[in-house]
Amino acid sequence: MPKESFLANRIKSVGYALKGMFILIRTEASIKIQLVIALLVTFAGLYFNISTVEWCLQVLSIGLVMGIEGINTAVEKLSDFVQPQHDKKIGLIKDISAGAVMLVSFAAVIVGLFIYLPKLF
């Protein structure tokens, strides 16, 4: 069988990534909530006509929170697959992964406050 070209391989990789993104959005409640928040702050950005730098910070914050949430979900699914029974070590791993989401979420809220508080007051 001939080896796939680099381009064909990259196209397949993008397809797998899109599939994973849609599965994440379709199946995970936390991502759905974050998607709604992302849409709300996007509309707020349009309403308040935020600057290019503010848009960049906002988009990076949204992407970081949602991306880390995706990694957290993957860690949880892998942990459950490896050890379906309750296990303190697996619980610790899951807590640390969730903590990473919390850290970036706090940072995103701070970015949002820097952007929107001056526009509200």
**pLDDT tens for each residue of the chain, 121 residues long:** 678 899 999 999 999 999 999 999 999 999 999 999 999 999 999 999 999 999 999 999 999 999 999 999 999 999 999 999 999 999 999 999 999 999 999 999 999 999 999 999 9
The residue among 36, 109, 30, 39 whose CA lies nearest residue 74 is 30
Q: Which domains does the chain have, with CATH numbers?
A: 29-120 (1.10.287.3610)
* pLDDT on residue 2: 72
Enter the tokens of residue 70: 């995706």
Output the pLDDT for position 3.
83
Q: What is the reported pLDDT for 93?
A: 97
Q: Would you state the structure tokens that stand for residue 73, as one six-digit string?
A: 């979900």
Write down the pLDDT at residue 63: 97
